[in-house]
Amino acid sequence: MKRLLLACVVLFSFLQSYKVKAQQDSSGLQISLLTCSPGAELYSVFGHNALRIVDSAAGTDVVYNYGTFDFNDPDFYTKFIRGKLRYFVSQVSYSDFLFEYQYFKRGVQEQVLNISQEEKRKIQASLFENVREENRYYKYDFLFDNCTTRLRDIIFQANQYDAYQIPVFMQQGQTFRDHLHVYLNRAQMHWTALGIDLLLGLGADIPMTQIESMFLPDFLFKGVSLSVTRQGKLEKRNTDVLADMQPAPERNPFYLDPLFVLSILSMILLIPSFYFSSLQALSDRIWLIVTGLLGLFLLFMWFGTDHQSFSYNLNLIWALPLNVFFAFKLNNMQEWMRTFFKLWSIVLLMLLAISLTNIGIINTALYPLILLISFRYWILSKKVNHHA
């Protein structure tokens, strides 16, 4: 009798286990986050993410990629500059996806997600809806709406982040700009870093939350690997699919570094202040026109484009659009201009002081140029008009 009872208990436990397993696997879906290592080109220097869905019932293995755009668009560059270039989600087979990264010797890691069958079906249904022609396009934003943040919001279910326990995996006080610099410096792209720093506004210098830090592929990878859901760890399994076989970037010679180049340029423009005074007017007009035109461009990127990351740009304090006007008024300066030059000379020194205590808000390569402009503003404030 005891044996019969024991057999019934074992059989019942087996059937219950089988039933639970069947319920768990009935979707036939496996969803994975693919994280690709950074490449050597600017468009790939921050890495990439995609979602892989294996549907055993349908016999499909598809990768969904939100980083697709039409490079053949005749207005590609115009749309890109104005922030109106439309990215879209595309589908490609898993084998084709791997072939591209294998060709460029970039690494690929796969994280199988530990989520319920309802969540799997919800994600799959959402992707099916997103790849429809009328839904697949979105307006790309460098920091706040890119191919990684789209996947972050899908995985963590937008507006429901409180359902996940996301531990602290980022140093407190880190900003968007800080994270971008890590990748650009590692890739020896110092001039690119300078260009990006010129464009980014104050929004890039606000300390990020843990969720916001997942705007870059590696940090989404970390978020998934450490987060906990109702089912336990969000990451069920982690596999190195392809090893990163790219050569290390070569270190640039010091004389090509932006800080060295701009220091030499600033010294050349400063020389007429002490020698060759006949060239001083030409020197002043050069930096006034160049910085003024740059300021007008930054102003356009703020107000004339859809890039929300370029708003409230501190570089407009030294790259002053008014400098274009001042360049043609040096021989006939009015009193208000002298007052303005004196005031703005002090403002620029204050900007440098703030930047020294908040490293990164102004690219350090620009310090010599800002010092030059501050000095010349002060000298110009004391200039007396000479009429022919």
Q: Identify whether residues 317 and 219 lie together within a single domain.
A: no
Domain boundary among 242, 266, 298: 242
335-357 helix and 367-380 helix, angle to the nearest 10 degrees = 150
Measured CA to CA, the distance from residue 321 to residue 105 in angstroms comes to: 45
Q: What is the pLDDT of residues 51-70, one digit of tens each?
A: 999 999 999 999 999 988 87
For residues 221 and 331, the answer to whether their CB atoms sit within 8 Å is: no
Kindly state the tokens that stand for 369.
């140029």
Q: Is residue 330's pLDDT more than 70?
A: yes
pLDDT at 347: 97
Rounded to two decimals, the pTM is 0.84
Residue 42 domain flag: yes
Q: Identify whether residues 259 and 372 lie together within a single domain.
A: yes
Residue 230 domain flag: yes
Measured CA to CA, the distance from residue 215 to residue 196 in angstroms comes to: 16
Kindly report the backbone phi and psi dihedral angles of residue 360, in degrees, each rounded to the nearest multiple of 5, phi listed first. Answer: 120, -30
Q: Identify whether residues 262 and 225 lie together within a single domain.
A: no
Q: Identify whether residues 155 and 42 lie together within a single domain.
A: yes
Measured CA to CA, the distance from residue 165 to residue 230 in angstroms comes to: 9
Q: What is the pLDDT of residues 112-156, one digit of tens each?
A: 999 889 889 999 999 999 999 999 999 888 888 999 999 999 998
117-130 helix and 147-155 helix, angle to the nearest 10 degrees = 150
Residue 181 domain flag: no
Measured CA to CA, the distance from residue 175 to residue 267 in angstroms comes to: 32
Domain boundary among 181, 216, 242: 242
Q: Identify whether residues 91 and 52 lie together within a single domain.
A: yes
Q: Considering its fold, how many domains does the chain have in total?
A: 2
pLDDT at 9: 41
258-270 helix and 280-303 helix, angle to the nearest 10 degrees = 140
Q: Identify whether residues 298 and 235 lie together within a single domain.
A: no
Q: Identify whether residues 150 and 259 lie together within a single domain.
A: no
Residue 386 domain flag: no
pLDDT at 385: 65
Instruction: State the sign of the Cα–Cα–Cα–Cα dihedral 374, 380, 381, 382.
Output: positive
pLDDT at 150: 94
Residue 287 domain flag: yes
Reported as a pLDDT band with limits 50, 70 and 90, residue 15 is very low
Residue of 237, 229, 238, 239 whose CA lies nearest to 115: 229
Residue 34 domain flag: yes
Kindly report the backbone phi and psi dihedral angles of residue 138, in degrees, each rounded to the nearest multiple of 5, phi listed first. Answer: -150, 155
Q: What is the pLDDT of residues 237-280, one digit of tens each?
A: 999 999 999 998 888 898 999 999 999 999 999 999 888 777 89
Residue 130 domain flag: yes
Q: Identify whether residues 264 and 369 lie together within a single domain.
A: yes
Kindly state the tokens that stand for 128.
């099916």
Q: What is the pLDDT of residues 67-87, one digit of tens each?
A: 888 777 777 667 777 777 788
Reported as a pLDDT band with limits 50, 70 and 90, residue 224 is very high
For residues 210 and 67, the answer to whether their CB atoms sit within 8 Å is: no
**In this structure, what CATH number is given to the domain that contains residue 163?**
3.90.1720
- According to DSSP, residue 238 is labeled E
Q: Identify whether residues 45 and 161 lie together within a single domain.
A: yes
pLDDT at 195: 93
Q: Identify whether residues 162 and 289 lie together within a single domain.
A: no
Mean pLDDT of 370-382: 95
Element containing residue 181 per DSSP (H, E): helix 176-186
Across the chain, mean pLDDT equals 87
- Percent pLDDT > 70 in the chain is 90
Kindly state the tokens that stand for 244.
């990163």
Place of tokens 């994270």: 179
Measured CA to CA, the distance from residue 198 to residue 314 in angstroms comes to: 9
Q: Identify whether residues 217 and 74 lie together within a single domain.
A: yes
| Cα–Cα separations (whole angstroms), residue 375 to 210, 267, 270, 281 | 42, 12, 9, 15
Q: Identify whether residues 163 and 277 lie together within a single domain.
A: no
For residues 55 and 40, the answer to whether their CB atoms sit within 8 Å is: no
Domain boundary among 216, 242, 268: 242
Residue 176 domain flag: no
* Domain span including residue 132: 26-170+208-242
Mean pLDDT of 277-300: 93
